[in-house]
Amino acid sequence: MRPHDARPVADGKTSKLPPPDVITDAGEYKAQSEYRIGPNDLIEISVFQVAELGRAVRVNTQGQISLPLIGTLQAGGRTVAELETEIATRLREGYIQDPQVTIFIKEFTSQRVTVEGAVRKPGIYALTGRTSLLQALAMSEGLDQLANPQGVVVFRTIEGRKMVAVFDIAAIRAGRNEDPQIYGDDIVVVDQSGPRTALRRFIESIPVFALFRPF
C-alpha cells in the first residue's frame, strides 16, 4: 500500500480515477479534511496513550456526541480538525496535560453519491462507509434494460478540477477490471444503448477505460 501522502496527481497518466485528497486509502476522512461532520455520522475517537478514552460514537440528530470526562459537545457542522481541537482543549482543562486526539469518520452518512442515466432507480444516495462502483449501482437497483454496460461514467472533482473516467461494468463483474471506490459528491452516469447520444460521443472520445482525465 502506498503512503497516504503519495496520492496520484491529476496528470492524466494514472490508471484509475484517484480519490479526493480529503480521504485516506482506508476510505476514512483525515484531520485536514474540509468535510463537516453531520448527524448520524459514526466517528472514531482516540487519545494517544489513553486507551480508555478511545471509542466510536454516533452523532445524534442534533449534531451532538457524549464523551467521558467531557460530557456532551457539538460535533455537527465542524471539521474533523476543529473537533479534535475542541476535545483536546476540554481534556486539557484539568484531566490530561497534553492530549493528542485523533478522529476518523467511519461512516459518513451525510455524504452522497448521485446515480443517473440508464438505471432502474436514479437518485441521490447516502454513503455509509467504503462503497464501490458496483455497490453504488446496486443502490439504484442496477442497470435497466437499455443500459450500455461499457459506458458507465464517473465524474469527480479533484483539487478543484473536474475529472472523469469511463468504466466497463461487464469487465468489472468478470474480475478483469478493478471495481473502483466511490466517494461523496461523485456523479455516476450510465449510458444507454441504441442511438448515439451526447454522452456516447463523449465516451467515445476517451480512448482508454478506467483512465481519468480532465474535462
- 79-93, 110-124, 196-210: segment of lowest average pLDDT: 196-210
Mean pLDDT estimate for the chain? 79
Place of cell 480519490: 19
For the segment 89-110, what is each residue's pLDDT rounded down to a tens digit? 999 997 888 999 999 988 877 7
Please provide the DSSP assignment of 111-142 as one string: EEEEEEESBSS-EEEEE-S-EEHHHHHHHTTS
Q: Where are the domains of the chain?
A: 42-107, 111-214
Whether this model's pTM surpasses 0.85: no
Q: Report the SS3 class of residue 36.
A: strand
42-107 has CATH 3.20.20.70 classification: no
Binning pLDDT at 50, 70 and 90, where does residue 74 land?
very high
Higher pLDDT, 65 or 110: 65
Tell me which DSSP letter residue 52 carries.
G
Residue 196 φ/ψ, nearest 5 degrees: -70, 130
- 16-20, 51-55, 162-166: segment of lowest average pLDDT: 16-20
Higher pLDDT, 139 or 39: 139
111-117 and 187-192 as β-strands: parallel, antiparallel, unpaired? parallel
Tell me which DSSP letter residue 15 carries.
S
Distances (CA, A) of 210 to 6, 8, 13, 116: 20, 14, 11, 19
For the segment 119-130, what is each residue's pLDDT rounded down to a tens digit? 999 998 988 778
Q: Which of 144, 87, 138, 81 is nearest to 113 (CA)?
A: 138
CATH entry, 111-214, from 3.30.565.10, 3.40.1620.10, 1.10.1060.10, 3.10.560.10? 3.10.560.10
